[in-house]
Amino acid sequence: MAVDTAPAPALVDERAPARHLRAGIVYAVLGLLVILAAVALLGDRTTTVAFDKTLTDASWDAPTRTVVLILGVIATAAGAWMIAGLPQRWYKIAGAAAVAAVVLALLFWAYSQEGTVFRAESILAGALFLSMPYIFGALSGVVCERSGVINIGIEGQFLMGAFTGVLVANITGNIYAGLAGAMIAGSLSTMLLALLATRFQVNQVVVGVILNLLALGFTSFMYDQLKKADGLNDAFSVPVISWGPLADIPVIGPVLFQQKLFVYVGLVMVAVVWFLLYRTRWGLRTRAVGEHPAAADSMGVNVNRLRYWNVVAAGLLAGFGGAWFTLGNSLAFNKNMTAGLGFVALAVMIVGRWNPLGVLAGALIFGFTTQIARDLSAAGSSVPGEFLQMLPYAVTLVVVAGLIGRAKAPAADGVPYNPGDK
By CB under 8 A, name the binding residues for other proteins: 150, 152, 196, 199-207, 209-211, 213-214, 216-218, 220-226, 228-229, 335, 339-340, 343-344, 346-347, 350, 384, 386-387, 389-390, 393-394, 396-397, 400-402, 404-405, 409, 413-415, 418-421
Find the shortest distance in angstroms from Cβ 391 to other proteins: 10
Nearer to other proteins, 15 or 408 (CB): 408
Find the shortest distance in angstroms from Cβ 410 to other proteins: 9
Find the shortest distance in angstroms from Cβ 235 to other proteins: 21
Nearer to other proteins, 176 or 387 (CB): 387
Rg (CA), the chain: 24
Residues 6 or more apart whose CB falls under 8 angstroms from that of 240 comprise: 258, 259, 260
- Please give the distance of CA 232 from its chain centroid, rounded to a whole number: 31
Q: How many CA atoms lie within 13 A of 60 on its CB side?
A: 9
Name residue 258's beta-bridge partners: 242
What's the rounded Cα separation, in Å, for the pair 331 and 319?
A: 16
Find the shortest distance in angstroms from Cβ 340 to other proteins: 5
What's the rounded Cα separation, in Å, for the pair 224 and 89?
A: 58
353 φ, ψ (degrees, to nearest 5): 50, 45
Nearer to other proteins, 228 or 281 (CB): 228
Cβ atoms 293, 317 nearer than 8 A: no
Cβ atoms 94, 25 nearer than 8 A: no
Nearer to other proteins, 42 or 365 (CB): 365
Find the shortest distance in angstroms from Cβ 387 to other proteins: 7
Nearer to other proteins, 17 or 384 (CB): 384
**Crossing angle for the helix pair 132-146 and 120-130, nearest 10 degrees?**
30
| Residue 299 one-letter amino acid | M
What's the rounded Cα separation, in Å, for the pair 206 and 20?
A: 41
How many other C-beta atoms are found inside a 10 Å radius of the C-beta of residue 58?
A: 11
Nearer to other proteins, 94 or 152 (CB): 152
Q: Please count the residues of the chain.
A: 422
Find the shortest distance in angstroms from Cβ 308 to other proteins: 14
Nearer to other proteins, 64 or 151 (CB): 151
Find the shortest distance in angstroms from Cβ 306 to other proteins: 16
CA separation, residue 69 to residues 40, 107, 109, 268 (Å)? 11, 13, 11, 40
Nearer to other proteins, 244 or 420 (CB): 420
Find the shortest distance in angstroms from Cβ 405 to other proteins: 5
Nearest to 186 by CA among 150, 156, 224, 214: 156
